[in-house]
């Protein structure tokens, strides 16, 4: 069957993205226009390998510093007029809306830097890691929102200005730094920091973030719903009668679980309430799945041991199984249900 899918050219895709973004537009000459004061005009060109974005800046302002190593923006100066052309590119095999927006952001930032005359030199001890972590105040509203997708692994990793390991690394990124992937080329990925810093790293070492960890990278607590419901069920069962003639489990000694003649403190009700509290605390603690599972098993074990001792007490007194059904309540099943919910929700 013939493939009838319409395949848009890179420039057509850019035009579609610009049409759906408030800050971008395409003018009558096919140039990309970024809103701002003044608006920024960017020429778009594509060959067989990459999409190139170029802004012609005019005369070089005094004190302007060209972008440093690791910055994807390239600067060319006309020998005749001294005018600057700033450009950046995206490989076509990694071209998507995010990589395009990242390239536009980098070019806009480089152009905005030109309006700051006599900018002081940065301290020599400033590192790329600090550039990733420290977010400067934006000089222009960017058309896209940065969203982290990966994290630097334990021990950190190195970054290059280009996907070429024969070059010297431009930075060493610290562990757990959040990054967004803009482009991929084989085992290489061009990553973006929270303030627009970019560089190429070995994609194989990056740790992918789930939607949960990306949204809450520093969250130490997250309430698991099923164990929380299980805790409520176990606690509620303590307030209900387990056998006829008793108002709740506070009228039953916890010693009954191993000796049906057992009496005295602690009350079974307090054991269940305490277990429910433990489950609730663990349901909110990070990395507590094994302990939550054990707490759920403990709830089930309490109900099972109670049933066993009730059976022993009735049968040793000459009663039958039907007598057990007459005096037993369904509250222990609520404890079992709470334990099952706790176990099932331990890793959710």
Q: What confidence tens digit (pLDDT) does each residue in 326-345 have?
A: 777 888 888 889 889 888 88
Closest C-alpha to 100, from 41, 52, 141, 56: 52
Give yes or no: residues 201 and 230 share one domain. Answer: no
Of 45-59, 112-126, 166-180, 209-223, the least confident: 112-126
Question: Residue 273 corresponds to which tokens in the numbers above?
Answer: 């309430």
Crossing angle, helix 225-238 and helix 289-316, to 10 degrees? 30
Q: What confidence tens digit (pLDDT) does each residue in 256-289 have?
A: 888 878 778 888 889 889 988 998 888 887 767 8
CATH at 161: 2.30.30.40
Is a pLDDT exceeding 80 seen at residue 79? no
Domain hosting residue 238, numbered range = 225-344
The residue with tokens 């600067």 is 75
Give yes or no: residues 56 and 164 share one domain. Answer: no
Q: What confidence tens digit (pLDDT) does each residue in 148-170 have?
A: 888 888 878 989 988 888 888 88
Closest C-alpha to 238, from 299, 168, 290: 299
CATH at 55: 3.30.1460.10
Give yes or no: residues 333 and 250 share one domain. Answer: yes
Domain termination residue (choose one: 215, 240, 271): 215
Give yes or no: residues 15 and 40 share one domain. Answer: yes
Give yes or no: residues 172 and 254 share one domain. Answer: no
Band of residue 69 on the pLDDT scale cut at 50, 70, 90: low
Band of residue 232 on the pLDDT scale cut at 50, 70, 90: very high
Give yes or no: residues 236 and 328 share one domain. Answer: yes
Closest C-alpha to 274, from 254, 290, 293: 254
Is a pLDDT exceeding 70 seen at residue 62? no
Give yes or no: residues 274 and 292 share one domain. Answer: yes
pLDDT at 6: 53
pLDDT at 219: 47
17 in a domain, yes or no? yes
pTM: 0.41
The residue with tokens 């990793």 is 157
Distances from the Cα of 109 to the Cαs of 34, 67, 134, 223, in angstroms?
12, 10, 16, 40
130 in a domain, yes or no? no
Q: What confidence tens digit (pLDDT) does each residue in 283-323 have?
A: 887 767 888 889 889 989 988 998 888 888 878 777 777 77
Give yes or no: residues 340 and 229 share one domain. Answer: yes
Band of residue 70 on the pLDDT scale cut at 50, 70, 90: low
- Total structural domains within the chain: 3
- Separation CA 19–CA 8 (nearest Å): 15
Q: What confidence tens digit (pLDDT) does each residue in 99-149 have?
A: 888 888 888 877 777 654 443 443 444 444 444 444 444 444 444 567 888
250 in a domain, yes or no? yes
* DSSP line for 89-130: EEEGGG-SHHHHHHHHHHHHHHHHHTTSTTPPPPPTT--HHH
């Amino acid at each position: 069957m013939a493939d009838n899918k319409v395949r848009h050219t890179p420039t057509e895709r850019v035009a579609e993205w610009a049409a759906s973004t408030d800050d971008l537009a395409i003018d009558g000459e096919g140039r990309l226009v970024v809103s701002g004061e003044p608006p920024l005009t960017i020429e778009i060109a594509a060959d067989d390998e990459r999409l190139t974005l170029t802004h012609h800046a005019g005369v070089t302002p005094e004190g302007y510093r060209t972008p440093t190593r690791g910055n994807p923006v390239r600067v060319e100066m006309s020998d005749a007029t001294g005018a600057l052309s700033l450009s950046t590119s995206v490989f076509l095999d990694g071209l998507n809306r995010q990589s395009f927006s990242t390239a536009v952001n980098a070019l806009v930032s480089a152009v905005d830097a030109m309006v700051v005359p006599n900018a002081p030199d940065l301290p020599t001890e400033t590192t790329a890691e600090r550039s990733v972590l420290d977010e400067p105040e934006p000089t222009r509203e960017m058309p896209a929102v940065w969203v982290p997708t990966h994290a630097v692994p334990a021990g950190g990793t190195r970054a290059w200005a280009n996907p070429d390991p024969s070059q010297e690394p431009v930075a060493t990124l610290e562990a757990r730094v959040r990054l967004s992937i803009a482009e991929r080329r084989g085992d290489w990925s061009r990553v973006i920091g929270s303030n627009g810093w970019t560089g190429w790293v070995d994609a194989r070492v990056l740790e992918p973030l789930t939607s949960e960890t990306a949204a809450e990278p520093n969250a130490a607590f997250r309430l698991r719903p099923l164990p929380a419901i299980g805790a409520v069920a176990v606690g509620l069962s303590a307030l209900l009668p387990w056998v006829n003639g008793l108002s709740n489990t506070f009228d039953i000694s916890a010693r009954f679980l191993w000796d049906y003649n057992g009496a005295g403190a602690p009350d079974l009700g307090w054991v269940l309430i305490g277990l429910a509290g433990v489950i609730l605390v663990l349901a909110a603690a990070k990395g507590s799945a094994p302990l939550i599972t054990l707490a759920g098993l403990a709830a089930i074990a309490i109900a099972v041991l109670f049933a066993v001792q009730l059976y022993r007490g009735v049968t040793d007194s000459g009663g039958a199984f039907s007598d057990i059904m007459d005096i037993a309540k369904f509250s222990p099943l609520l404890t079992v249900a709470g334990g099952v919910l706790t176990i099932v929700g331990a890793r959710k």
